[in-house]
A and B are shown apart, each in its own frame.
Chain A
Amino acid sequence: MNDSQVKISTTQAVVIIVNYMLGAGILTLPRTTSKAVGTPDVWISIILSGLIITGVGIILVTLCRRFPEKTVFQFTREITGRWIAYILGCANILYFMVIAAFEIRVMADVTGMYLLERTPTWAIVMVFMWIGIYLISGGLPVIVRVFEVILPITLVIFVMEILLSNQLFEIGNLRPVLGEGIMPVVKGLKPSLLSYTGYEVMLVITAYMQNPKKSNKAMTWGLGISTSIYLITVVMVVGSLSLDGIKTRTWPTLDLVRSFEIQGLIFERFESLLLVIWILQIFSTFAITHYCASVGIRDLFKAKKMRTIMYCLLPFIYLAAMIPKNVYETFALGDMLGNVSVVLFAILPLVLLLLSIIRKKGGKHA
């Protein structure tokens, strides 16, 4: 399990990015964005956010490319001093851990509501975390392989399900386009940012890529695929349930799939499939964030044994997942994470990049 020898290809990097990004956000994205936007122009916000994030991502990846084979925890030290690097590194690690906890919490909530009503939360979460640790203790190659198995299943079933709902779809729900001008669209950019968190995994993964020069391509593809999935979701949900219908639904995407029945096909009810693939996706997000947090601790504190770190992180993530007391606090946590991610991964890499160019670190000067 010697990580430094592992090389992942460009396609595998794309797979990791897409798997990370598709997570808890899919279920809540329609509601949060439509609340902010107020008009049916939600889909324009999604496309715009996608483009903005792609730009941000490319900056991030350029930064990483200047320091080949070094994760963000290692090269920040070279750009700023030791102490600032420590603080930033710790912030990153904390962020990864909290995202893992958030994802688990959302999964436990939804599973507890729709699948297993009377099972205690700890049973659901613990089994999940144990299988997670089994996966990541195999190292990056194992993680990537499992991701490559999960992703096609998810994509195919998800797209099929969403398109099946076209019997409810009414184009009138999406009109008028830009009826109230561009302002609502801009208002909708902020909530969609949380769902786009995931590109930051490149801060850690670029170090292991076979072909770091292609990381730009990987980032663009990864973000492109995620954006299209989000776009399809939002369009179908808003188009079928209409803007007003989403207002009071806690999990609009799930309700969309529950709103139709196709008589005669084997499953009449397709939400089972949707929940299955959603759980798979949450699992992948959880696994990769846990892994990144462990990598962070290893690199920042120069520890040796990854395995011990991974095991030790488990109880902390569990505690963090249990802290929000109800659904509203969970959503608040999610919003907070979105804000933090803007600072940590949009503004900071730009600053770091400029600093490294000014102070002549990395890249040609490495």
Chain B
Amino acid sequence: MNGKMWSTILSYVPKWTIWAQALMVFVVPVILYLTTNWFHTAIKRGSFSRKNKMNHSPKDISPAEAGIGPGTETGHYANIKLTGIYTTDLITVRETFGKNADVHIREFIIRGTNTRVAVMYTEGLTDTDLIDKYLIEPLMIKGIPELKQESFLHPEQADFLSTYLKTQILPVSEIQETQSLQELATGVLVGKNGLLVDGLPGAMLIGTSRLKTRGVDEPLSEGLLRGPRIGFTEELSDNTGILRRYGSDQSLFIEKFEVGSRIKKDVAIAYIQDIADPKLVTEVMKRVKAIHMDAMLESGYIEQLIEDDTLSPFQQVLNTERPDRVIGALLEGRVAILLDGTPFVLVVPVTFSMLLQSPEDYYERWIPSTFLRILRFMAAMLALLAPALYISFISFHPGLIPTKLVLTIIETRSGVPFPSLIEALIMELSIEILREAGIRLPKPIAPAMGIVGGLIIGQAAVQAGIISQFLVIVVAVTAISSFTIPVYSAGLTLRLLRFAAMFSAAVMGLYGVVMFFLLMCTHLARLSSFGVPYIAPAVPYHLSDWKDFVIRAPLNMMRRRPDMMNTTDEDRKK
């Protein structure tokens, strides 16, 4: 009895291959987990090796906090003070940044006194109008009135001097005082006009740069049929101006920082005070202040340095050139980040549905808008999964295609030498190359190239027997669908993921596509952007959030702000 029982139990013990497989089941996720963790910490550290730890000495201050408080300056002329003695200061200036060929110094004397004054400006950036009329003229021509001339002769009354100049003489709106050479240098080189006055312990910075900027034209990358045709420009002041002009509300709050240690740029954070969640605002500010980089050339730098998950293919920060999109987002309780020097404004937090929405949806009526939204959704799905489904049906499950179609496919594919994966890869890669090339083509050639690329190359490839006609249709549909996505960066993500889907379909057919879909869902579910889960508003089920997700409910019914944003003021009617 015992022996028989023993042998039946033994027969159930799995073979050694199964044990090995069980081990692999355990080991691979552990390896993957450790690898991703290692990547994450390495990215946060800034380098792969543990030895070159960046020395964060106490002297290393975040640029946002630079210049605030004593001894906190960074830069070439750090911590040099201006003495107040005109000649010394002038020599210092001339020796330092005055050596630059495009910095000019104009000296003159204030009328009515013997005070010498020097104006420093950078050519190309100055507003000559401002200098001539409002700086030199009041000082040189009008001068100081008789009564006050006395005080000018006594250099001890330095404060009096600066106050008097500021309050009574200089009719300019932007005026700053500084005692440090560094600030003066940065100011003049950025386009302000520096004013050195004999007896004044320090210098004044007047005005701002007047570089030629372009007008507020409609952005090229986000054109709409219906909607305001304005876009942000590269000037921060213009952009904040646009926000205030088109979204005027006294609760619209704008805060400014500086980012970039070498090339300092202004960053403005805008939010509507009584709508946005205060915790969100603090978090955004915290992250922006923690940025350490020598220069922020574009808002994309900020985007990449404040996002939650660097390894994810999905963007967690939205960028847009359209003011109406930004204002709409602000009204929902989101926060906008504007960077000087780029028209692309960042909006956080971002959810998945925002990537498929376009402001036009709100300007048209609800039935056509709902239809368009659903269309866009389906197009996004198609753009992602069409080639993968093609591969899985052709190579793995011919039984799942309608019979008549199968017969045609067999006939058209008889001459093709490649398996469907290679075929699809060839076509998809060619389309991607064409697309990249098309961005850089000069304007007159671009449309022609598109037609040439699409029709002729595709047709030629079919006739050469490299690909089958069916694939051309699939690829064309995919390419066109991917253009319907309103946010360009999201389109990039989908293009990337399409290849991953193709590979998973090539290994396991329809099962591979399903697994890929699950992987995407899980990843999206784990992703959160500034505390808001990425796949809200689909989940958790908040019925009121669904009014703006796939359908677009009639405007009158969209009364509340999205639940997911934790807004302080929920009623949209106010």
| Interchain nearest-CB distance for A352 vs B (Å) | 32
User: How many contacts between A and B, using CB within 8 angstroms?
Assistant: 127
Indicate whether A150 sits within 8 Å of B514 (C-beta atoms), given known contacts A311-B30, A314-B29: no
Q: B511, A148: Cβ atoms under 8 Å?
A: no
A-binding segment of B84-92, B117-125, B518-526: B518-526
Contact residues of A between 226 and 283, Cβ < 8 Å to B? 263, 267-269, 271-272, 275-276, 279-280, 283
Give Cα A283–Cα B521 distance, bound, in whole angstroms: 12
- The listed residue (A135, A146, A150, A276) touching B510 by CB distance below 8 A is A276
Q: Please report whether the interface of chain A is mostly helix, strand, loop or mixed according to DSSP.
A: helix
- The listed residue (A12, A116, A318) touching B25 by CB distance below 8 A is A318
Interface string of B386-425 (1 = CB under 8 A from A): 0000000000110111110000000000000000000000
Kindly list chain B residues whose C-beta atoms are within 8 Å of the C-beta of A115: 396-397, 509-511
Give Cα A150–Cα B541 distance, bound, in whole angstroms: 13
Q: A149, B21: Cβ atoms under 8 Å?
A: no
Interface centre among A115, A263, A276, A316 (most CB of B within 10 A): A115
Interface centre among A116, A138, A267 (most CB of B within 10 A): A116
Give Cα A254–Cα B539 distance, bound, in whole angstroms: 30
Q: Is B93 an interface residue (CB 8 A)?
A: no
Indicate whether A145 sits within 8 Å of B400 (C-beta atoms), given known contacts A130-B29, A131-B522: no
- The listed residue (A12, A123, A150) touching B508 by CB distance below 8 A is A123
Contact residues of B between 471 and 512, Cβ < 8 Å to A? 508-512
Q: B522, A138: Cβ atoms under 8 Å?
A: yes
Q: B511, A116: Cβ atoms under 8 Å?
A: yes
Give Cα A319–Cα B16 distance, bound, in whole angstroms: 11
Residue of A nearest to B535 (CB): A145
Give Cα A22–Cα B367 distance, bound, in whole angstroms: 35
Q: A146, B521: Cβ atoms under 8 Å?
A: yes
Q: Is A127 an interface residue (CB 8 A)?
A: yes
Q: B402, A126: Cβ atoms under 8 Å?
A: no
| Interchain nearest-CB distance for A17 vs B (Å) | 15
Indicate whether A148 sits within 8 Å of B29 (C-beta atoms), given known contacts A115-B510, A269-B399: no
Q: A318, B403: Cβ atoms under 8 Å?
A: no
Give Cα A316–Cα B521 distance, bound, in whole angstroms: 26
Q: B540, A12: Cβ atoms under 8 Å?
A: yes
Interface string of A99-112 (1 = CB under 8 A from B): 00000000000010
Interface centre among B19, B508, B521 (most CB of A within 10 A): B521
Q: Is B28 an interface residue (CB 8 A)?
A: yes
- The listed residue (B30, B400, B521, B538) touching A269 by CB distance below 8 A is B400
Give Cα A289–Cα B535 distance, bound, in whole angstroms: 24
Q: Is B22 an interface residue (CB 8 A)?
A: yes
Give Cα A1–Cα B495 distance, bound, in whole angstroms: 31
| Interchain nearest-CB distance for B27 vs A (Å) | 9
Q: Is B1 an interface residue (CB 8 A)?
A: no
Kindly list chain A residues whose C-beta atoms are within 8 Å of the C-beta of B444: none
Kindly list chain A residues whose C-beta atoms are within 8 Å of the C-beta of B12: 323, 325
Kindly list chain A residues whose C-beta atoms are within 8 Å of the C-beta of B24: 126
Contact residues of A between 260 and 318, Cβ < 8 Å to B? 263, 267-269, 271-272, 275-276, 279-280, 283, 307, 311-312, 314-316, 318
Interface string of B3-27 (1 = CB under 8 A from A): 0000000001010001101111110
Q: Is A133 an interface residue (CB 8 A)?
A: yes
Residue of A nearest to B541 (CB): A11
Q: Is A128 an interface residue (CB 8 A)?
A: yes
Q: Please report whether the interface of chain B is mostly helix, strand, loop or mixed according to DSSP.
A: helix
Q: B538, A148: Cβ atoms under 8 Å?
A: yes
Q: B23, A283: Cβ atoms under 8 Å?
A: no
Residue of B nearest to A266 (CB): B402
- Count of chain B residues with Cβ under 8 Å from any Cβ of A? 42
Residue of A nearest to B518 (CB): A131
- The listed residue (A9, A134, A268, A319) touching B402 by CB distance below 8 A is A268
- The listed residue (A9, A133, A312) touching B540 by CB distance below 8 A is A9
- The listed residue (B22, B400, B512, B525) touching A318 by CB distance below 8 A is B22
Q: B511, A279: Cβ atoms under 8 Å?
A: yes
Q: B23, A315: Cβ atoms under 8 Å?
A: yes
- The listed residue (B18, B401, B525) touching A149 by CB distance below 8 A is B525
Residue of A nearest to B405 (CB): A268
Q: Is A157 an interface residue (CB 8 A)?
A: no
Q: A269, B511: Cβ atoms under 8 Å?
A: no
Q: Is A166 an interface residue (CB 8 A)?
A: no
Q: B540, A145: Cβ atoms under 8 Å?
A: yes
Give Cα A263–Cα B242 distance, bound, in whole angstroms: 57
Kindly list chain A residues whose C-beta atoms are within 8 Å of the C-beta of B21: 122, 126, 318, 322
Contact residues of A between 1 and 51, Cβ < 8 Å to B? 9, 11-12
Q: A133, B29: Cβ atoms under 8 Å?
A: yes
Contact residues of B between 161 and 195, Cβ < 8 Å to A? none
Give Cα A326–Cα B541 distance, bound, in whole angstroms: 41
Q: A280, B518: Cβ atoms under 8 Å?
A: yes
Q: B18, A319: Cβ atoms under 8 Å?
A: yes
Q: Is B291 an interface residue (CB 8 A)?
A: no
Q: B515, A134: Cβ atoms under 8 Å?
A: no
Kindly list chain B residues whose C-beta atoms are within 8 Å of the C-beta of A159: none
Q: A131, B25: Cβ atoms under 8 Å?
A: no
Kindly list chain A residues whose C-beta atoms are within 8 Å of the C-beta of B32: 130
Q: A145, B29: Cβ atoms under 8 Å?
A: no
| Interchain nearest-CB distance for B167 vs A (Å) | 57
Kindly list chain B residues whose C-beta atoms are within 8 Å of the C-beta of A185: none
Q: Is A211 an interface residue (CB 8 A)?
A: no
Q: A119, B508: Cβ atoms under 8 Å?
A: yes
Q: Is B231 an interface residue (CB 8 A)?
A: no
Q: A145, B508: Cβ atoms under 8 Å?
A: no
Q: B402, A116: Cβ atoms under 8 Å?
A: no
Interface string of B528-556 (1 = CB under 8 A from A): 00000101001111000000000000000
Kindly list chain B residues whose C-beta atoms are within 8 Å of the C-beta of A123: 508
Give Cα A123–Cα B397 distance, bound, in whole angstroms: 18
Q: A134, B519: Cβ atoms under 8 Å?
A: yes
| Interchain nearest-CB distance for A140 vs B (Å) | 11
Kindly list chain A residues whose C-beta atoms are within 8 Å of the C-beta of B28: 126, 130
Give Cα A224–Cα B535 distance, bound, in whole angstroms: 28
Indicate whether A323 sits within 8 Å of B29 (C-beta atoms), given known contacts A116-B508, A268-B403, A318-B22: no
| Interchain nearest-CB distance for B439 vs A (Å) | 34
Q: Is A129 an interface residue (CB 8 A)?
A: yes
Give Cα A125–Cα B403 distance, bound, in whole angstroms: 31
Closest 4 CB pairs of A and B: A315-B22, A148-B539, A268-B402, A145-B525
Q: List 23 A-B contacts (CB under 8 A).
A: A11-B540, A115-B510, A115-B511, A116-B509, A116-B511, A126-B21, A126-B28, A137-B33, A138-B526, A142-B526, A146-B525, A148-B541, A149-B525, A149-B535, A149-B539, A150-B521, A279-B511, A312-B26, A315-B26, A319-B19, A319-B22, A322-B14, A322-B18
Residues of A in contact with B (beta carbons under 8 Å apart): 9, 11-12, 111, 115-116, 119, 122-131, 133-135, 137-138, 141-142, 144-146, 148-150, 263, 267-269, 271-272, 275-276, 279-280, 283, 307, 311-312, 314-316, 318-319, 322-323, 325
| Further 9 A-B residue pairs, CB within 8 A, beyond A126-B28, A134-B519, A135-B522 | A12-B540, A12-B541, A116-B511, A126-B25, A134-B523, A146-B525, A149-B535, A314-B22, A314-B29
